[in-house]
A and B are shown apart, each in its own frame.
Chain A
Amino acid sequence: MAGINLRGVVKAYGKTQVIHGVDCTIADGEFLVIVGPSGCGKSTLLRMIAGLEIITDGEISIGDRVVNDLEPAERDIAMVFQNYALYPHMTVYNNMAYGLKIRGLAKADIDTRVRKAAEILALDDDLLRRTPRQLSGGQRQRVAMGRAIVRQPSAFLFDEPLSNLDAKLRVQMRLEIKKLQQNLGITSVYVTHDQVEAMTLGHRLMVLNGGVVEQIGAPIELYEHPATLFVAGFIGSPAMNLLPARIGDGGDRVELSGGDSLALPPGRFAAHAGQTVTAGLRPEHFEIVTDDQSVARLAVDVVEQLGADTLVHGHFGNDRGSLTVRLNGTQNLQARQVLPMSVRPELIHLFDADSGRRLES
């Protein structure tokens, strides 16, 4: 059992730097998810923790040991790969036992550990005797987890372990991983590009973009207070609407580029009066209001009925930029209709148009 500490971690391949100084403290037993678009350096960061990539600069410690110069096997970690990386010629049993055999554990100990892991993961005896080729994707995934569990490591590292599964199995395995991590209480770092996976799994999320940490925080914190435009657009589904806007001269309204304006919490943004900003409005925060209190008029382009919700795609006034609104239940709406819409002032996010950073009062 151990926490993981990253201090100013940098990775460069030759002259190209791909990780630009990451700091993060992962508590003992915590489930941290590193999330970001493809190519942002998630895998690289995880592989540096695992010891599969040399750490160009900075320091990584696991527990109270600095591990920069330790081999992967000495770091007391276990890793689950996207393609599972099971040894194709070994039986499931031997796949799980191999690492323990190398460590020189007694046969009886190995057997106990493998059987216990198999039980946790519901792998029966018949399965233990098969080779990976004879397993389904979900079963291979379980075996890969089993191989991690038997090591009884201080930390689990997952690199997009569910990407090769179909959608239904992915949801099921996601839940299993979460339960497993809760029961074993082992510090875990999990890499994914899927923000839903990240939100459901992580105690905390690290949003990575172009090798830079945009924000680290609990899922709800990221949802409610995205620190940057990138996080705002990345977390939440459907994505937050980001509209070019300007804070009114009084500082109490935000004027959208279509000509309409929405009320802001009184006094909060007084200091920013007249500033050009990007307004962030979550699709699910829109409400249809009666016309007299209306603040923004949405011209409906397309309506999607999903049963539980209705997604409305449209635009404000003469602004051509499209936005998405999510309304509860089924709604009787038609294209080309104009809807009076409002967002509660405290749910409006404002970002500096240049730096992309969140404006706080």
Chain B
Amino acid sequence: MVENRPWLTVATHVVLVIGVLIVAFPIYVTFVASTHSLFDLVRIPMPVLPGSHMVENYLQAISAGLGEASGTAAVGAGRMMFNSLVMALGIAGGKIAISIIAAFAIVYFRFRFRMVAFWMIFITLMLPVEVRILPTYKVVADLGMLDTYGGLIIPLIASATATFMFRQVFMAVPDELAEAARIDGAGPLRFFWDVLLPLSRTNIAALFVILFIYGWNQYLWPLLITTDPEMVTIVISINRMLSVGDDQAEWQIAMATTMLAMLPPVLVVVFMQRLFVKGLVETEK
């Protein structure tokens, strides 16, 4: 695999550069669009170089969004990003907490119907949110959780995939470790806290990155249960900015908001990259 031929190096780089360009081009267009005034933007041809309205566009996006003029309340991207952040952190943290505890129960305790519980979790892997969205909506509505953070987070918090992943992680931990801990006098919770949790650190980090992005990008569920502009997430708000009927959509603000919406997932990936990769490739326990 580790061959060192010049033409091979060139070829691989060409492929990589093409890949990067394909992925980066739409993002570049979005960025360009967020730096022009609406007037420049809707002219044909569309500008391909950044314009001079970047600061004002972004300030408006953060503080006021589209403002009263367009019919929506003046809720800025700041507030909506905060909503998204709460939701994404809640979903990522909640999913990890619940699934790691569920996996702990399945792997380390012999209780009645253990395999039944396991297979039920496994089967729900096949049922995405969309399939159970109506009953879930009914339950959340009846509990009065519409337009609350709880309503945004809790229905999405169970995760068969994460449970399954932690189960695999725990099964790779040698039994003798649990036995040594028992001899050392550590009860199950102590063992979980002092041994399993530190051993799963990198896996937790990797999962956190994936789940944070998953939570941040949630669309259908927040769209259904948030009506209060104060509770709207940023992903939903972009959509609302563009659904303006016969009016001219304020593309420059929408694009600025889009750029802002991309930022937190990118930051999470950048800062957790090392742990993330380690968590995905590490096998030794």
Chain A positions within 8 Å of B, measured between CB atoms, are 50-52, 71-73, 77-79, 81-83, 85-89, 98-99, 102-103, 147
Contact = CB atoms under 8 A, between A and B. Distances in A.
A72 B198 contact: no
A98 B177 CA distance: 13
Contacts of A147: 180
B185 A73 contact: yes
A102 B183 contact: no
A13 B135 CA distance: 46
A266 B207 CA distance: 81
A83 B176 CA distance: 8
A77 B185 contact: no
A50 B177 CA distance: 14
Give 8 closest A-B pairs by Cβ, nearest first: A73-B185, A99-B184, A85-B176, A85-B180, A89-B198, A102-B185, A72-B183, A81-B176
Contact of A50 (B183, B186, B201): B183
A278 to B, nearest CB: 40
Contacts, number: 57
B174 A73 contact: no
A103 B185 CA distance: 7
A118 B179 CA distance: 23
Interface in B142-179: 174, 176-177, 179
B38 interface: no
B110 to A, nearest CB: 12
A98 B186 CA distance: 9
A81 B179 CA distance: 9
Interface in B175-195: 176-177, 179-186, 190, 194-195
Interface of B: 174, 176-177, 179-186, 190, 194-195, 198-199, 201, 285
A61 to B, nearest CB: 18
Contact of A89 (B174, B185, B199): B199
Contacts of B180: 79, 81, 85-87, 147
Contact of A102 (B174, B184, B201, B285): B184
B177 A102 contact: no
Contacts of B181: 87
26 contacts: A50-B179, A51-B182, A51-B183, A52-B179, A71-B182, A71-B185, A72-B179, A73-B182, A73-B185, A79-B179, A79-B180, A79-B183, A83-B176, A85-B177, A85-B179, A85-B180, A86-B180, A87-B180, A87-B194, A87-B195, A88-B285, A89-B198, A89-B199, A99-B183, A99-B185, A147-B180
A83 B285 CA distance: 12
Contact of B184 (A51, A81, A83, A98): A98
B278 to A, nearest CB: 13
B179 A102 contact: no
A103 B183 CA distance: 11
A71 B187 CA distance: 10
A83 B183 contact: no
Contacts of A77: 183
A102 B285 CA distance: 23
A88 B199 CA distance: 8
B190 A52 contact: no
Contacts of A88: 199, 285
A271 to B, nearest CB: 52
A73 B176 contact: no
A180 to B, nearest CB: 19
Given A85-B174, A85-B179, 10 more contacts: A71-B182, A73-B184, A78-B183, A79-B180, A81-B179, A85-B176, A86-B180, A87-B180, A88-B199, A98-B184
Contacts of A86: 180
Contacts of B183: 50-52, 72-73, 77-79, 99
A51 B182 CA distance: 9
B156 to A, nearest CB: 31
A116 to B, nearest CB: 18
B190 A102 contact: yes
A204 to B, nearest CB: 25
Nearest to A100: B184
A128 to B, nearest CB: 18
Contacts of A50: 179, 183
A225 B4 CA distance: 68
Contacts of B194: 87, 98
B212 to A, nearest CB: 24
A67 to B, nearest CB: 13
B199 A72 contact: no
Nearest to B180: A85
A267 to B, nearest CB: 56
Contacts of A72: 179, 182-183
Contact of A83 (B174, B185, B195): B174
B176 to A, nearest CB: 4
Nearest to A104: B185
B190 to A, nearest CB: 7
A166 to B, nearest CB: 21
